[in-house]
Chain A
Amino acid sequence: DTAVSQTPKYLVTQMGNDKSIKCEQNLGHDTMYWYKQDSKKFLKIMFSYNNKELIINETVPNRFSPKSPDKAHLNLHINSLELGDSAVYFCASSPREKREYPEQYFGPGTRLTVT
Chain B
Amino acid sequence: GENVEQHPSTLSVQEGDSAVIKCTYSDSASNYFPWYKQELGKRPQLIIDIRSNVGEKKDQRIAVTLNKTAKHFSLHITETQPEDSAVYFCAASGVYSGGGADGLTFGKGTHLIIQP
Q: List A residues at the B interface (Cβ < 8 Å).
A: 31, 33, 35, 40-45, 48-50, 55-56, 90, 92, 94, 96-97, 100-109
A48-B103 CB under 8 A given contacts A96-B96, A104-B34: yes
Does B29 sit within 8 A of A, measured CB to CB? no
- A sample of 29 inter-chain contacts (CB < 8 A) reads A31-B101, A33-B103, A40-B108, A41-B38, A41-B87, A41-B109, A42-B109, A43-B109, A44-B106, A45-B104, A48-B102, A50-B101, A55-B100, A55-B102, A56-B101, A56-B102, A56-B103, A90-B43, A90-B44, A94-B101, A100-B96, A103-B34, A104-B34, A104-B104, A106-B36, A107-B43, A108-B42, A108-B43, A109-B42
A45 to B105, Cβ gap below 8 A? yes
A104 to B105, CA, bound (A): 12
A97-B98 CB under 8 A given contacts A42-B108, A104-B34: yes
A109-B43 CB under 8 A given contacts A48-B101, A96-B96, A100-B96: yes
| Min CB–CB distance B46 → chain A (angstroms) | 6
A106-B44 CB under 8 A given contacts A101-B49, A101-B51: yes
A101 to B44, Cβ gap below 8 A? no
In the complex, chain A residues whose CB is within 8 Å of the CB of B104: 43, 45, 104
Residue of B nearest to A107 (CB): B43
Residue of B nearest to A104 (CB): B104
A32 to B115, CA, bound (A): 38
A55 to B104, CA, bound (A): 13
